[in-house]
Structure 1
Amino acid sequence: MNTLLSSLATGLGQGAVYALIAVSFVIIYRATGVLNFAQPALLILGTFATSVFATQMGVPFFVAVPIAMLVVAALSAGIERVAIRPMVGRPAFSAAIVTVGLFIVLLVVAFRLFDSKPRTVGDPWQLSSVCIGGETTESFGVTGCTGGVQIYENAIARFVISLVVIGVLGWWLTRSRIGLAMRATSLNQETALAQGISVGRMFSISWAIGGGLAALAGALLAANGSVVQATDALFALVALPAIILGGIDSLKGAVVGGLIVGLAMALTKTYQPMFAPWLGTNFDNVVPYLIMIVVLLVRPYGIYGTKEVQRV
């Protein structure tokens, strides 16, 4: 039971970060109709920027992360203005292909700017943990838990920070003038223009928010004492099953999908080596895609996705 509870806590922490990445995809998709495949590159750039500010410049972690978010948000808004805005009016597939090219370019830039060296973000949690219902032990500098549930502090921090940020964002989208304008733009761009809303400005804001969220997710993913390389950007693609699972145009679906994916991966990583070792190592990375396929067979538009009605 203790192992199960520990795995659930780890899965919720990881799933909250996947939810954050999924929301960053959905924010851009709802505003522009473009699935931004450049998000993983923005995520790794945010991680590297956090590393530079926190470890090289000595900025405290909780200050370095917001600065990195602002830097990546500005970069993301600039990318939208230069590369995506000219694609307005063209098929969404064409714009998606442009974002694939942007992903490759930004990944190369990440390699060049940061010398392809593994980095850390100087997180404050490392491998610290809390022991619930048991006795804390320490051996060779590693903290353990006897007779209770061991939960790593970074899992708690990931869960709390991610859901607080998503909650504040959801509140802002429903209460602020800009948030309402973004929602109107996502529903119907022509009607929004007729109401005096600057659709181009809404596009830029959505991309800036998406970039900032990706940077935050990158910093949280790296906040476990591990080293990060540019190729780790591919981990962000795990958010794609979460998006499709929850519904590609639903913020609520992105959160639910992210949590489901995180829990499924954590439980598979814990129990699959014991009960199904023949599936091989790293099978937990396959599980999100299997869940996505099963859900799509039952609900092609995802759990909370909007069903399209086509008249013939």
Structure 2
Amino acid sequence: MSYLLTQLANGLSYGLVLGLIAVGFVIVFTATGVLNFAHGSVLLAGAYLVAVLQPTVGFWAAAAVGIAGAALLGVLINAVLVRNLAEANPGTAAILMLGVDILLLTELTRRIGNRVIPMGAPWGADRVEFAGVSLPTSRALAALVAVVLFAALWFLFARTRTGVAMRAAAADGDTASLMGIRLSRTGAAGWALAGALAAIAGIFLASFPAPGVAPTVALSAFAAIPAWVLGGFDSVVGAIVGGLVVGVATALAVGYEAELHVLGSGFGEVVPYLVMILVLLVRPSGLFGSKEAVRV
């Protein structure tokens, strides 16, 4: 029983991290109509900045720079490449994001090489235990930080003028523009917020289970895509729920892989996509998404 509870706890904490990444997808999609397939490279860029700077300035200062750098990278992608394409042709913008992802990932891979750059996180490989459940400290902190950030996002979107402006722009950009809301500003804010969330997720993913920053960290964003689609392209709540569903399903599949040997090794890697397909067969718009959401 304790093993099952541990796997569930691992799945929930991992799912919350996936939720952070998936929420970034949602925010960019609702703010600018773009399927941001460069999100994984932005995540890797933020984690890379933390890893290379932490020996000099310390982990916490490096984390602040990495998060700010990922946010700025998102703003630059939007300002330089996306702003004039997103509304006119979402399909073109999605393909453009694939190209951006390849370019960024190639450059970051060139810089990292075959190394694994230590993240330098102060929690290291420590573990916490509670009621018979043992979790890596990184996972426990990730879950706590994710919950705090989700609460902050709720406050931002529900209680602040900036958040209300972003919601209005997402609901009806033309009407919001006529009411004086600057769509370019709300779009930039959305890309910056998504970049910052990706960097935070990257910090935790690169400290556990990975021993540090490597190009494969960018692939973590692909695991968040099923969570994003599962919850609904345009739903923040759906992204969080989708992340939890995918995280728990993945943890259980990996934890009980021996019992599921008939399905083959590595079954846990395809579980997120299997869950996504099964849900979309019943609810094509996702669990919480609106039916008008654009598919590419």
Q: In which range does the TM-score fall when normalised by the shorter chain?
A: over 0.9
The yes-or-no answer on 1:192 pairing with 2:194 is no
Q: Is the 8 A contact 1:12 1:155 kept in 2?
A: no
1:308 and 1:74 map into 2 onto residues whose CA distance is 30
Corresponding position of 1:227: 212
What's 2:262 paired with? 278
In structure 2, distance between residues paired with 1:285 and 1:180: 38
Displacement of 1:5 in angstroms is 0.8
1:165-204 aligned within 5 A:
165-204=149-188
- Does the 8 Å CA contact 1:9/1:155 hold for their aligned counterparts? no
How many corresponding residue pairs?
Answer: 292
The reply on whether 1:212 has 2:196 as its aligned counterpart is yes
Give the Cα separation in 1 of the matches to 2:63 and 2:87: 36
Counterpart in the other structure of 2:98: 100
Per-residue CA deviation, residues 103-126 of structure 1 (Å, 9 max, x unaligned), is 011112212344452212111222
Kindly indicate whether the alpha-carbon contact (under 8 Å) linking 1:265 and 1:285 is maintained by their aligned counterparts in 2: yes
Letter of the structure 1 residue corresponding to residue 195 of structure 2: G
In structure 1, the partner of 2:39 is 39
Q: How do 1:222-301 and structure 2 match up within 5 A?
A: 222-224=206-208, 226-273=211-258, 275-301=259-285
Look up the SS of the partner of 2:74 in the other structure: helix
List runs of 5+ in structure 2 lacking aligned partners.
none
Query: What is the Cα deviation at residue 232 of structure 1?
Result: 2.6
Aligned counterparts of 1:203 and 1:149: Cα–Cα separation in 2: 42
Asked whether the 8 Å contact 1:173–1:182 carries over to 2, the reply is yes
Report Cα offsets for 1:202-229 as digits up to 9, x if no partner.
1111111111111111101112261331
C-alpha distance 238-42 of structure 1, shift in aligned 2 (>3 A) = same
Cα distance in structure 1, aligned partners of 2:127 and 2:100: 39
Q: Distance in 2 between matches of 1:116 and 1:91?
A: 38
Equivalent pair of 2:139/2:204 in contact (CA under 8 Å)? no
2:71 to 73, 81, 96: 73
Q: Secondary structure at the match of 2:242?
A: helix
Query: Aligned letter for 1:63?
Result: A
- TM-score when normalising by structure 1: 0.90
Q: Distance in 1 between matches of 2:87 and 2:159?
A: 30
Mapped to 2, the partners of 1:88 and 1:287 lie a distance apart of 31
Matched, 1:3 2:29: no
Whole-Å separation in 2 of the counterparts to 1:6 and 1:63: 32
Query: Over alpha carbons, which structure has the higher Rg?
Result: 1
CA contact (8 A) 1:13 1:262 kept: yes
Shift of 1:289: 0.6
- Describe the shift of the 1:276–1:179 C-alpha distance in structure 2 as closer, same or farther (beyond 3 A): same
Partner of 2:121: 123
Consecutive unaligned residues in structure 1, runs of 5 or more: 134-147
Q: Does the C-alpha gap of structure 1 residues 74 and 308 become closer, same or farther in structure 2, counting only changes over 3 Å?
A: closer
State the identity %: 40
TM-score when normalising by structure 2 = 0.94
User: Retained in 1: the 8 A contact 2:29–2:35?
Assistant: yes
Q: CA deviation at 1:190?
A: 0.6
